[in-house]
Every structure is written in C-alpha cells, then in structure tokens.
Amino acid sequence: MTGTILISLVSCALLQTGTFAFPAITWNQDTLPAGILIDGRFEDWEETERLAFNDEGLLKTLCLADDADYLFLKVELNRKVNLQADNHITLYLDMDDNPATGLRKGMLGAEAAFTFGERSGWVFSGEDTITIRYETLGLVTAPTMESNVFEIALAWAASEQEKALGFGTKPLSVLIADEAGEEATLTASYDPKRLPRPVCQAISLEKEDPMHLRVVTHNVNRRHFLPEKRDAFSRVYQALQPDILLLQEAYEGTAREILDYFRMSIGAPLSGRWYAYKAGEEATVLLSPFPASAVVPLGNSAAYILDLSEPYAGKLVLIALSMPCCDLDDARQAEADMIMAFIDNLKNGKTLEYIPVGTPVILAGDANLVRKTEQYATLTEGRIQDTLAYGPGAPPDWDGSPFRDLLPYHLQKPLSFTWRGKGFFPGRMDFFIYSDSVLEIGRNFVFDTVDLPEEVLKRYNLRGEDAPDTYKHQPVVADLILER
C-alpha cells in the first residue's frame, strides 16, 4: 500500500513539472500535490504573482489563483485582524468582468459582495440582490485565528446563484475594500484556468500498516446518544476503525455506557478488554484497548496516561483538548498554560504520575483557537503566559524543540477545516499536536463525507451527509507509528 502511494506521488510530481511552479512543501512526510491549500500557511503562494498592492491603508497585497473547483485569494493586511468580526473588509466580485452589469463599485460591475467582518453579503439574482451567508459562495478562510494574512477559497459552483451568473466560466475582476473608511482598495482582473488537480492517490481510509495505531478525535457536542444520529455516528466510526477514540463534550452517559454504545462500530470485541475513561469539565472520553495509569482533569480538557501493551511497549500520553470556546480568550489561555505546565512537570518528574524519557505526548481535540494566536504558541512552543501561576514554560518536546502541529487535510479537498456550522465560516478548531522528536505519524486526515466520490461512500457504507450529521466537528484521524 505504502509503495503504491509513494510511486503515484512521484509520478504526480513529474506530471506537474512545467505546469505548476510551486515549491515542494512538507506534508505528512511526503510531498503534497501542487496547488493552493487553505491551511493558514503560505509557502504554496510563493511563486504566485502579486496582482495588486498598496503602500498604505489596511489592505496591502492581493494574489489570485484557481483550480477546477475554487478561486483562491491571498490577502495581506498591514495589521492583525479577526477576519470574521470587527472589520469591514469587503470583497466585490465582478463575475463577468463587465462594469456594465451588476452594481458599480470602482471600475467593477459587481455581481456579488461579501463583508467578512459581518459574515454576510449579497448576490445578484435576476434583477434583485439577495442577502447571502458564506455558504452561497462556498467560502472557506484560513487561518481561523487572528492574522495579518489570509487565504480564502470561493467554490465556483457552491450555489444556484453562482451557477446562474456563470462564476468561473469567464474572466472576472475582484475588488477588496476596507469600508471602514480607509481609501486604498485592491483590484485585479483574472482569467480562471480551471485546471483539474492531479489525482495523486485513490482515496482509502485504511491504515498504511496494520501495526500503526489509529487515534480518532471527535467533538460530539452532546449528540452521541441522540437516536436520530446513531446510524451516522456508527457508520463514521465503522469506516474509520479507531484504535483509540477520543471524544469531547460527551456529557451524557458514563464512560462504560459510551464504550458499550459504540463497541460494535469501533470494532471493540464484545468479550475483549477495552477501557473507558471520562474526565474534564467538558466531558472528554477515551476509549482504548489500553488501561490508563493516570487520568488527570485539566480544566475542560484532560490527560490520559496509557500503559501500552503487546505489540507496543511503554506509555503514551494523550491530552484530550476541549478548550474554552469563542470569546473566552483569557480562559482558553489559562487552560493552555495549565496543560503545558502539566506536560513540563510530568516530563521532569514533578507530578505524582511517572513517564519514561521519550514517551510520546499528543494533544488532540477541540482547541477552539478562534482569536488570539498566543494560545497556539503555548500549545506548540510551550510559551506560558501566566508564568507566576504556571511557571516559566519551555519548548515541550523531549529534544528541547516545539511540538509539531500535524495539520491534516480533507481527503477530497485542498482544505483543512474541522468545523462547519452556521454564521461563522468553516474553521480549524480541532488539532493534533505531538512530540515529533519521538513519534512518527502515518496516514492522517480530516474526515468529511461531503463530496467524497460516490464509489468511496459505497465502499465504506457511508452517506454524504454522515459527517455533518454527527455534528459540526469533523473527526480528525492520525495513525501513530510506535516503536515496538
């Protein structure tokens, strides 16, 4: 299996020579297919030409790219903003590059507009404009945290309105304005190429090696016992076959009841010994064939220290993240500080629990990183903010380096969001952060059933709506390659 994938990745890279000029970037220890990835990292734009720029004002530069399914924008600003609130940055789309059609804005005749900070916009529909939310444009942005640079995907055919306007079938123009009063706008014309992304590998869900240990983390948001959702949950877990299932917000039921409820779908033997634990104020649950030598609540989150058994050896530290939500930046930061102080103390023998040097440490789950970036630096680099309460902090990996943020992608799309709901744009809430000096990861992905090819859905007995039907969070999957 691994061999096949490697070979097809190589041929994929060869095929792209001369077509795309993007530099190779690191992903999953392999090479990603060329093209833009909406992930909040910007190496993929390095070879893309700036189509507009300003010396002053909020709006600095604009780059555009596209593929068969999406128009991509990279917008650089002169200061950090939360793209989804407290700004009046507005995107105007002249979908036919014709100032005589649509609403006049600068040199454009715009058929649609979207104000990011208000999370709403409008689109021409017949003779009228109608109010829209992000779904009409298939809008996805990254990063989800505050930033001074964002990448944005608009799906060419997200809605009937877009299709009726022929979005992506002809040259177009884009204008970005700061409606808060700063004058300078970014304007560019663009002729979409609509090149298909090379198919680098057939989609499959199985582990690359049966010896890998699959961790699936999923915020079930209290939906796990709802009768109408039972089948969707069962199909998703049956398809993913977790070896370790980490849930957040699984309030209802004891750990044992939750294990029994999902026992069949996750493939836990009826008579075999599986373990179930529940801890933390947001009801994190861990189901696994390994017993925990310690379970430590850490605010809403919790630490599980597992004793691995044959064919693996040693311990595994799993921190189930379920950090405070939304505007609660201070509470979220305090919890990040507490978690990283716990890891530092655990590694240095300052806790009741003991782990050998080199024990893999994983933070997985809903980190809710929607605003300030300091919390991300705390979880990855160990930079503690409240040093009086939690100590000085230190790079958390065993070799004195930061933890690695795995950043898994969707199997079928160049996207990395793990949450999709109403109002706010799809975002990356769920993380898998780990001690990469002592742990390798095999296959990993964000599991979204929407737009999986029909053949794949059929092969795994899934339905296209299964992932969103379980809840707004998508399961995040990572296969651990453990020493034996």
The contact mask relative to Ca ion for 7-46 (x = CB under 5 A, - = no) is ------------------------------x-x-x--x--
Which of the residues 147 through 186 are near Ca ion (CB under 5 A)?
none
The least CB distance from residue 242 to Ca ion, in Å, is: 28
Nearest residue (CB) to Ca ion, 40 versus 299: 40
The least CB distance from residue 106 to Ca ion, in Å, is: 12
Q: Closest residue (Cβ) to Ca ion?
A: 109
Nearest residue (CB) to Ca ion, 64 versus 268: 64
Nearest residue (CB) to Ca ion, 102 versus 427: 102
Nearest residue (CB) to Ca ion, 278 versus 428: 428
Nearest residue (CB) to Ca ion, 80 versus 484: 80
Positive or negative torsion for Cα 94, 96, 98, 101: negative
The least CB distance from residue 103 to Ca ion, in Å, is: 8
Nearest residue (CB) to Ca ion, 175 versus 276: 175
The least CB distance from residue 204 to Ca ion, in Å, is: 25
The least CB distance from residue 356 to Ca ion, in Å, is: 38
How many chain residues interact with Ca ion (CB under 5 A)? 10
Positive or negative torsion for Cα 446, 275, 213, 263: negative
The least CB distance from residue 44 to Ca ion, in Å, is: 4
Which of the residues 66 through 125 are near Ca ion (CB under 5 A)?
94, 96, 98, 101-102, 109
* 356: number of Cβ within 10 Å: 8
Nearest residue (CB) to Ca ion, 44 versus 374: 44
The contact mask relative to Ca ion for 251-280 (x = CB under 5 A, - = no) is ------------------------------
Nearest residue (CB) to Ca ion, 306 versus 415: 415
The contact mask relative to Ca ion for 389-428 (x = CB under 5 A, - = no) is ----------------------------------------
The least CB distance from residue 336 to Ca ion, in Å, is: 24
Chain residues binding Ca ion by CB under 5 A are: 37, 39, 41, 44, 94, 96, 98, 101-102, 109
